[in-house]
């Protein structure tokens, strides 16, 4: 059980016919519960990474009793089971060394998952994960009867922010078995998951996948034509469809549709490879695109013949400007600036990823590199990838080790770096403690670094700590339908009957369906908020709710320094997503269904489809990149000195 790699499907239980089930229900009568994730190849809703889920995740109130669904005997009890956020590592908590814990912030006691396995008379076992660990009283070998309380609902934090448990089954040989047959009267056909994934797909399968892709976008995406006209997008769709005439792999198919996604310009609309992506090789140079030059930050190849600071001129005989231009057509984001694209291409794993999509650039073992050395001489070298089967990460690397960092620059200026808008209870307590000390010490200046804040779900928590001016954290939002979506028949996280937005209504002279915030803005001051001078650092990797947080602070009077945010200033497609599987292919489309409007008042300095533009635009310099200094923070500190004078 400890070595299973879990993954999941988000699905809401509409109704359950208990009379047709062999097993009894998991909770006492009257307990409010619903299926959160169904079995199969799906996407972790927390990490957005592909994985395999071998059971049902079921939401229920915290501390609700969990019942045995069948008679049996306790075969295993664990009070210290721990899973990594990407669900790839699992271990008993006390087996982690201190050095291991130091390098993995997720190894925390609050992430412990209590678990119990019950062996049935036929030798099969039912597994319960997500129980409150310190409330488990059963011991191995104890007899259990159907309906007995075996534990209580706890938190499965790597899966859901809300309380839930997972229930799954294995047969007498230890292989996964489909508990949905006996529990819900539904067959998830686990036999199909034992087959190797298909490599090539027929033109008819590809045509069907493309049809699902297009129809899902047209039916569900709330901002499909914000950055491209319907006429032009229809033409692109038709051209792509005409190109599908021969068998292809899912990667070759991705080459066709990723440029279409890039044209839509939405950071939350993207592809997931359900079976993951693994290459034999990866691009072996870490680069930086700064001051219109492509500079080597690290040579990761076997030869290590190119020094830090050398300038790349060509890759395999192709000018680096042409390579970058070709790769940029595959890059998708809310704000389509070169700053954001250049920042993304710094990361070796993303450089490799866009080689994957490109027709003319391919991932391979070695690359011929032409470069300019430190003495201004032009040289050539072969960069060879050092390892086979290098996994390619599908998310941005973090530049900091922790989600937030606090220090005192001097007596009058404090610094707080916040890398996420997701806050668990422990993080909130730490930030509250920091803010309490700031309120007591009353520094003249507070610098909030949001340059690597990629977003999350909670913007109210920090805004209320940093802004004395109250704000309305409810926003105007829009969706395409307040009834059913036909696209949900292809989704892995909803049933086709699901109605997601019943409270959205039509508004005169406006298309689609809308929800208008009812909460009135309170003009009174927040007493326990920071009252000094606020500075905010932003950059291309300030994304999603990170950009929204930055805009709220900007509107509350903060001075913004750095570069334009990668997240848009006026609106965001987010909050509710459908994971749309494209037919028989191993691909899923992450499709946002809701458009949120945060800044209705037009800012004269910020046009549509742009991010928050700083008061002081300070870009990274070649010297700051090569010498690991922070010219943006230095400039911000210099502003605090001017204010002080």
Non-local (6+) Cβ contacts of 509 within 8 A are none
The stretch 152-170 carries a mean pLDDT of 88
* Residue written as token pair 């950009």: 547
**Percent of the chain, pLDDT > 70?**
82
Q: Is there a contact between 158 and 81 (Cβ–Cβ < 8 Å)?
A: no
pLDDT, position 311: 94
Residue 15 has pLDDT above 70, yes or no: no
Q: Residues 209-247, buried b or exposed e (16+ Cβ, 10 A)?
A: bbebbbebbbbbbbbbebeeeeeebeeebeebeeebeee
pLDDT, position 390: 40
Q: Which pair of tokens denotes residue 622?
A: 């070649």
Residue 276 has pLDDT above 70, yes or no: no
Q: What is the pLDDT of residues 310-321, one digit of tens each?
A: 999 999 899 999
Residue 5 has pLDDT above 80, yes or no: no
Q: What is the pLDDT of residues 458-499, one digit of tens each?
A: 888 888 888 877 666 668 899 999 999 999 999 887 878 889
The stretch 610-614 carries a mean pLDDT of 93
Q: Is there a contact between 275 and 390 (Cβ–Cβ < 8 Å)?
A: no
**Choice among 125-139, 241-255, 279-293, 367-381 with the minimum mean pLDDT:** 279-293
SS3 242: helix
Cα-based distances in Å from 90 to 43, 80, 85, 132: 18, 10, 10, 17
Q: Which helix (H) or strand (E) holds 547?
A: helix 544-555
pLDDT, position 175: 82
**Choice among 1-5, 191-195, 350-354, 554-558 with the minimum mean pLDDT:** 1-5
Helices (H) and strands (E) in the chain, counts: 13, 36
Determine the Cα angle at 568 with ends 516 and 509, to 5°: 35
Could you give the angle at which helices 348-357 and 320-328 cross, rounded to 10 degrees? 70
Q: In angstroms, rounded to a whole number, what is the distance separating the alpha carbons of residues 347 and 297?
A: 10
Residue 11 has pLDDT above 60, yes or no: no
Q: Which helix (H) or strand (E) holds 312?
A: strand 311-315
Backbone angles phi, psi at 172, to 5 degrees: -65, -15
The stretch 139-155 carries a mean pLDDT of 91
Q: Which helix (H) or strand (E) holds 315?
A: strand 311-315
Q: Which pair of tokens denotes residue 159?
A: 């899966």
Backbone angles phi, psi at 261, to 5 degrees: -60, -40
Cα-based distances in Å from 388 to 213, 302, 356, 363, 385: 33, 12, 16, 12, 8
Alpha carbon 399 to chain centroid distance?
A: 16
More confident residue, 547 or 326: 547
Backbone angles phi, psi at 201, to 5 degrees: -125, 145
Residue 100 has pLDDT above 60, yes or no: no
Other CB atoms within 10 Å distance of the CB of residue 363 = 22
Question: Measuring CA to CA, which residue among 636, 439, 473 is closest to residue 551?
Answer: 473
Alpha carbon 327 to chain centroid distance?
A: 22
Q: In angstroms, rounded to a whole number, what is the distance separating the alpha carbons of residues 189 and 568?
A: 42
The stretch 433-450 carries a mean pLDDT of 90
**Choice among 151-155, 344-348, 544-548, 633-637 with the minimum mean pLDDT:** 344-348
Q: Is there a contact between 153 and 159 (Cβ–Cβ < 8 Å)?
A: no
Q: In angstroms, rounded to a whole number, what is the distance separating the alpha carbons of residues 307 and 295?
A: 10
Q: Is there a contact between 354 and 330 (Cβ–Cβ < 8 Å)?
A: yes
Non-local (6+) Cβ contacts of 477 within 8 A are 504, 514, 515, 575, 594, 595, 596, 597
Q: Is there a contact between 492 and 51 (Cβ–Cβ < 8 Å)?
A: no
- Following CA atoms 573, 513, 591, 579 in sequence, which dihedral angle do they give, to the nearest 10 degrees? 130
When computed from its CA atoms, the radius of gyration of the chain, rounded to whole angstroms, is 26
The number of residues in the chain equals 645
Q: What is the DSSP string of 370-429?
A: EEE-TTS-EEEEEEE-S-SSEEPP-SPPPSSSSSEEEEEEETTEEEEEE--B---HHHHH
Residue 398 has pLDDT above 50, yes or no: no
Backbone angles phi, psi at 462, to 5 degrees: -75, -40
Q: If pLDDT is split at 50, 70 and 90, which confidence band does 523 have?
A: low
The stretch 387-395 carries a mean pLDDT of 39
SS3 362: coil
Q: Which pair of tokens denotes residue 372?
A: 């300019």
Q: What is the pLDDT of residues 168-200, one digit of tens each?
A: 998 887 888 889 888 888 888 777 666 666 788
* Residue written as token pair 């990629």: 454
Q: Greatest CA separation found in the chain?
A: 81
SS3 222: coil
Q: In angstroms, rounded to a whole number, what is the distance separating the alpha carbons of residues 357 and 406?
A: 40
* Residue written as token pair 């932003």: 538
DSSP 111: G
Q: Residues 120-154, buried b or exposed e (16+ Cβ, 10 A)?
A: beeebbbbbbbbbbeebebeeeeebeeebebbbbb
Q: Which helix (H) or strand (E) holds 641?
A: helix 631-644
**Choice among 19-23, 91-95, 112-116 with the minimum mean pLDDT:** 91-95
Question: Measuring CA to CA, which residue among 363, 375, 448 is closest to residue 406?
Answer: 448
Query: Residue 587's beta-bridge partner residues?
Result: 273
Burial classification of residue 47, based on how many CB atoms lie within 10 Å of its CB (0-12 exposed, 13-18 middle, 19 or more buried): middle
């Amino acid at each position: 059980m400890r070595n299973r790699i879990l993954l999941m499907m988000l699905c809401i239980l509409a109704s359950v016919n208990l009379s047709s089930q062999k097993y009894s229900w998991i909770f006492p009568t009257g307990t409010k519960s619903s299926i959160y994730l169904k079995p199969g190849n799906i996407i972790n809703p927390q990490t957005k990474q592909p994985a395999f889920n071998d059971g049902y995740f079921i939401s229920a109130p915290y501390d609700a009793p969990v019942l045995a669904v069948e008679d049996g005997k306790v075969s295993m009890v664990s009070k210290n089971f721990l899973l990594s956020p990407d669900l790839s590592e699992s271990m008993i908590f006390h087996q982690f060394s201190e050095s291991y814990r130091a390098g993995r912030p997720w190894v925390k006691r609050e992430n412990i998952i209590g678990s119990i396995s019950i062996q049935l008379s036929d030798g099969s076992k039912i597994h319960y994960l997500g129980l409150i660990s310190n409330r488990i009283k059963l011991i191995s070998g104890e007899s259990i009867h159907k309906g007995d309380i075996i534990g209580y609902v706890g938190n499965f934090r790597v899966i859901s922010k809300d309380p839930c448990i997972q229930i799954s089954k294995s047969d007498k040989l230890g292989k996964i078995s489909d508990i949905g047959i006996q529990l819900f009267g539904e067959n998830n056909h686990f036999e199909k998951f034992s087959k190797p994934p298909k490599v090539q797909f027929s033109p008819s399968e590809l045509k069907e996948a493309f049809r699902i892709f297009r129809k899902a976008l047209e039916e569900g995406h709330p901002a499909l034509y914000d950055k491209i006209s319907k006429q032009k997008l229809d033409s692109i769709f038709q051209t792509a469809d005409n190109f599908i005439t021969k068998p292809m792999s899912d990667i070759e198919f991705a080459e066709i549709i990723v440029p279409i996604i890039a044209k839509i310009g939405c950071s939350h609309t993207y592809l997931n490879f359900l079976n993951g992506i693994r290459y034999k090789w990866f691009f072996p140079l870490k680069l930086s695109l700064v001051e219109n030059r492509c500079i080597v930050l690290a040579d990761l190849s076997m030869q290590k013949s190119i020094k830090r600071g050398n300038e790349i001129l060509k890759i395999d005989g192709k000018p680096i400007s042409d390579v970058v231009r070709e790769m940029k057509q595959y890059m998708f984001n809310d704000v389509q600036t070169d700053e954001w694209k250049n920042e993304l291409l710094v990361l070796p794993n993303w450089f490799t990823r866009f080689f994957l999509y490109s027709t003319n650039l391919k991932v391979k073992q070695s690359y011929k590199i032409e470069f300019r050395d430190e003495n201004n001489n032009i040289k050539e070298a072969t960069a060879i990838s050092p390892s086979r089967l290098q996994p390619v990460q599908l998310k941005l690397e973090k530049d900091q080790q922790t989600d937030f960092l606090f220090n005192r620059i001097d007596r009058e200026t404090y610094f707080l770096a916040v890398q996420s808008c997701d806050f668990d209870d422990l993080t909130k307590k730490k930030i509250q403690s920091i803010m309490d000390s700031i309120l007591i010490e009353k520094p003249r200046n507070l610098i909030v670094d949001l340059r690597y804040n990629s977003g999350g779900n909670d913007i109210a928590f920090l805004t209320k700590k940093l802004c004395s001016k109250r704000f309305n954290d409810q926003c105007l939002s829009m969706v395409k339908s307040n009834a059913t979506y036909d696209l949900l028949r292809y989704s892995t996280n909803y049933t086709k009957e699901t109605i997601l937005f019943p409270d959205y209504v039509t508004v005169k002279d406006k298309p689609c369906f809308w929800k208008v915030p009812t909460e009135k803005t309170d003009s009174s001051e927040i007493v326990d908020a920071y009252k000094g001078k606020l500075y905010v650092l932003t950059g291309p990797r300030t994304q999603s709710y990170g950009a929204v947080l930055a805009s709220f602070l900007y509107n509350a009077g903060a001075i913004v320094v750095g570069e334009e945010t990668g997240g848009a200033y006026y609106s965001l497609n987010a909050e509710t997503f459908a994971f749309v599987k494209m037919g028989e292919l191993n691909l899923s489309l992450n499709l946002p269904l809701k458009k949120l409007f945060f800044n209705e008042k037009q800012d004269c300095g910020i046009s549509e489809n742009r991010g928050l533009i700083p008061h002081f635009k300070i870009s990274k310099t070649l010297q700051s990149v090569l010498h690991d200094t922070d010219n943006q923070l230095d400039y911000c500190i210099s502003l605090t000195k001017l204010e002080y004078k």
